[in-house]
Amino acid sequence: MIPIKNKKKNLEATVEEMRNFAFTYIEKYAPSKQQLKTYLLKKYLKTKIPSVNKSNITDLINLVLEDLEKTKFINDKFYSNSKAKSLIQRGSSINKIRNYLFSKGVKDKYIKTTLDEIIANNEDQDFFSAIKVCKKKRIGPSRDENNRPLFYKKDIGILARSGFDFDTSKRVMDLEKSEYLKIINLL
C-alpha cells in the first residue's frame, strides 16, 4: 500500500511539473497545441522518471493540454489568426500561410476559417503580398527598367517559391513602375 501512495504523489508531482514546463513555454513562445504537446513529450522522454511509464506520459500530457485549453492558455483559433496576420504583414502568400499553419499542427477547420476571413477582408491579398515581396527583395517592378527583362524568369521563380501562383506573379511583374510606386505608397 505504501508504494502506491508514493506513486500517486510522483504522478501528481509530475503533472504539476508538466504544468510548470507548459506555462514557461507558453510565456516564451505562444505555441499551438501541437507544438506544446511535442515539447512536453520530448521533455519527458529525455528525463527518466522511475515511477511513470512512458505510455502514461501521453495521457498526462493530454490531461495538462485539456486543462490549459479550458483555461484558455492555449487556443489554436487565436494562434491561427495571429500567425496569419503576422505572415501577411511580412508579405506571405495564402499558400505559404496555409502550409505554415498546417506544419504547426493547427487543425484544418481553424486554418480554413482563418484563410476565408483573410480572403473576405481582401479578395486580392496575394497580389498585395507579392508586391511586398517585390519591394523587400527588390525584384520585378522595383528593379531598374533596363534590368527587368533580363531578370524576368528569375523574378517569377522567386515569387513562385514564395507561394504565389503564375497569374499573380505575372500580373505583378507586368506592372509599370508608376503603378507600382502608387501601390507601394498605399501599403
Tens of pLDDT, residues 101-119: 999 999 999 999 999 999 9
Is the same domain home to 19 and 65? Answer: yes
Evaluate the CA torsion angle 102, 116, 88, 174 in order and state its sign: positive
The pTM (predicted TM-score) of the whole model is 0.83
Dig out the grid coordinates for 180 from the structure.
507600382
Q: In the structure grid, which three cell numbers stand for residue 171, read together?
A: 500580373
At residue 59, the pLDDT reads 85
Our count of domains for the chain comes to 3
Encode pLDDT of 126-145 as tens digits: 999 999 999 999 999 999 98
Local confidence band at 123 (pLDDT 50, 70, 90 cut-offs): confident
On whether both 10 and 65 belong to a single domain, the answer is yes
pLDDT at 116: 94
pLDDT at 89: 92
Q: Report, as an integer, the average pLDDT of 22-35.
A: 92
Alpha carbons 170 and 155: distance in angstroms, whole number: 10
Judge if 82 and 48 occupy the same domain: no
6 and 56 housed in the same domain: yes
Alpha-carbon gap, residue 60 to 58, rounded angstroms: 5
pLDDT of residue 1: 39
Based on the domain organization, do 11 and 66 belong to the same domain?
Answer: yes
Say yes or no to pLDDT of 11 above 90.
no
What mean pLDDT comes out for the span 60-70? Answer: 91
Same domain membership, residue 133 and residue 84? no
80 and 136 part of one domain: no
Answer yes or no: are the C-beta atoms of 133 and 162 closer than 8 Å. Answer: yes
Give residue 62's domain range: 2-70
Share of the chain above pLDDT 70, in %: 89
Q: Which long-range contacts (CB under 8 A, 24 or more apart) does 118-126 make?
A: 118/84, 118/88, 118/94, 119/94, 125/88, 125/94, 126/93, 126/94, 126/164, 126/165, 126/168
In order, the DSSP letters of 30-47 are ---HHHHHHHHHHHHHHS
CA distance 48 to 86: 39
Please give the Cα distance from 41 to 61 (Å, whole number): 7
